Amino acid sequence: MAKTKSTFFCQNCGAQYAKWQGQCNSCKEWNTIAEEVIQKAEKVSWKSSENTSKRVAKPQRISEISTQAEARLNTKNNELNRVLGGGLVPGSLTLLGGEPGIGKSTLMLQIALQLPYKTLYVSGEESAQQIKMRAERIQPISENCFILTETKTQNIFRNIAEIEPDIVVIDSIQTLHTDAIESTAGSISQIRETAAELIKYAKETATPVILIGHITKDGNIAGPKILEHMVDTVLQFEGDRNHIYRILRANKNRFGSTNEIGIYEMQGSGLREVSNPSEILISKNEEDLSGTAISATLEGMRPLMIEIQALVSSAVYGTPQRSATGYNAKRLNMILAVLEKRAGFKLGTKDVFLNVTGGITVDDPAIDLAVVAAVLSSNIDIAIDKGLCFAAEVGLAGEVRPVTRVEQRILEAEKLGFTSIVISKYCKIPKNNFHINIIKVAKVHDVVHHLFG
Ligand code: TYD
Ligand code: MG
């Protein structure tokens, strides 16, 4: 019998302690330290071939290392491929995090069903019947997809050795447990150990493994931070559950950029890829409505035309209300102050509500000018021309500032049929061969002049 050893782990951040204490020194949370028994029984993890453990790595000249471009596995899902940087790399570990009910299992099941390779979908959360029912709703049933409801890694590896899948999906890493350690599933030491076993398996067989991970209440992936260091790619699936759009982004990617995003629409029959997001984010109202303006923003590397709606009305109560959805509320206050001081609009006694349509949150400062336009349009109740869009930041002095990659934004606006785009006078556009009319402004005041004469 191996010697029983136990250690104390903070269940919040994964810090390790020799004895119990009330507060974690590293994350300062109270009552998160719990004892976990780590019993090193004989390890029956992924069988490592004899010679790999005996083989000693030798240094190689960097010039002599062969670099055939790794053949990536095409996931048949363009949005996911884009976020991964071109597909799944053989032997890579991908961690997919997101709030409960956002659609992680749906996305992965959908991928598993549409792949032309042999896929193994291991679920510790749902029964095989439940998975089948879901699969029937979202995709034609594939002969290549195997479902395993198992949580013990030793049993999973036994099945893997039998089926020899080309891709493995684990739903979720928090439900797995290994015999090598005696603590409960989901504890820090279990997550660390099971992830290490899966990494070993992935690297030795060059099979891509996708792990689904739960997140904590503050939005981090549950479990030790080290999990994120261990895997090659960390993806985050996010969105507002009350809206149909979901955004997939890479927080870490060893094989590509983290700037790309994938956009999906949750439908009754699973997640649909949204390949042209700008079209859906702009409402197709026939009538002219005051208080809406279109902004040419960038989400990562991707240009995105987004509609901003503002409602300005006289405050009923003493203190005017200001509220913003999808836009920083402090920034809205700043913009209102700039309008008051630099453009002479008296908004101090008005309620101002701002909404970025589609349920998405925008950090791009280039949205500022569209916010200004929407607020002013609502204030004087005159609609903005439908062919007009905006891409500029607004400074405290009321100056209209240039934004990054303005050419890309202009091209997107042009592609979607806008006739004019308002940008900063200080933007440098190398060649002016655009068909769209480019309006350059230097101050917020000039914008007012342009819009409403
Ligand atoms: P799920 O993939 O179970 O979320 P997660 O694994 O991230 O917890 O997604 C569940 C939600 O998705 C559920 O609330 C219903 C919705 N949904 C649809 O709208 N359409 C569908 O076709 C499916 C399968 C789910
Ligand atoms: Mg799930």
Q: How far is the CA of 449 from the centre of ligand 2 (A)?
A: 53
Separation between Cα atoms, residue 398 and residue 336, nearest integer Å = 11
Predicted confidence (pLDDT) per residue in 211-264, tens digit: 999 887 777 777 777 788 889 999 999 887 677 788 898 889 998 888 778 889
At residue 13, the pLDDT reads: 78
Separation between Cα atoms, residue 361 and residue 327, nearest integer Å = 6
Instruction: Please give the class, per CATH, of domain 280-452.
Output: alpha beta
Q: From atom 12 of ligand 1, which residue's Cα is the shortest distance away?
A: 103
Contact, 370 vs 413, CB < 8 A?
no
**Which of 365, 445, 371, 444 minimizes the C-alpha distance to 402?**
365
Window from 21-25, 57-61, 299-303, 388-392 with minimum mean pLDDT: 299-303
Q: From atom 9 of ligand 1, which residue's Cα is the shortest distance away?
A: 103
Q: In this structure, is the dihedral angle defined by the CA atoms of residues 386, 390, 396 and 397, taken in order, positive or negative?
A: negative
Q: Is 28 in the pocket of ligand 1 (CB under 6 A)?
A: no
Q: Is 105 annotated as a binding residue?
A: yes
**Which of 43, 14, 75, 363 minimizes the C-alpha distance to 233?**
75
Q: How far is the CA of 102 from the centre of ligand 2 (A)?
A: 8
Query: Measured from the CA of 106, which atom of ligand 1 is nearest?
Result: 2
Helix (H, G, I), strand (E, B) or coil at 438: strand
Helix (H, G, I), strand (E, B) or coil at 69: coil
Instruction: Please give the class, per CATH, of domain 73-273.
Output: alpha beta
Q: Is 410 annotated as a binding residue?
A: no
**Which of 222, 179, 244, 245 minimizes the C-alpha distance to 38?**
179
Q: Is 213 in the pocket of ligand 1 (CB under 6 A)?
A: no
In which band, very low, low, confident or very high, does the pLDDT at 50 lie, cut at 50, 70 and 90? very low
Q: Is 186 annotated as a binding residue?
A: no
In which band, very low, low, confident or very high, does the pLDDT at 317 lie, cut at 50, 70 and 90? confident
Separation between Cα atoms, residue 14 and residue 50, nearest integer Å = 33
Separation between Cα atoms, residue 114 and residue 108, nearest integer Å = 10
Q: Is 100 in the pocket of ligand 1 (CB under 6 A)?
A: yes
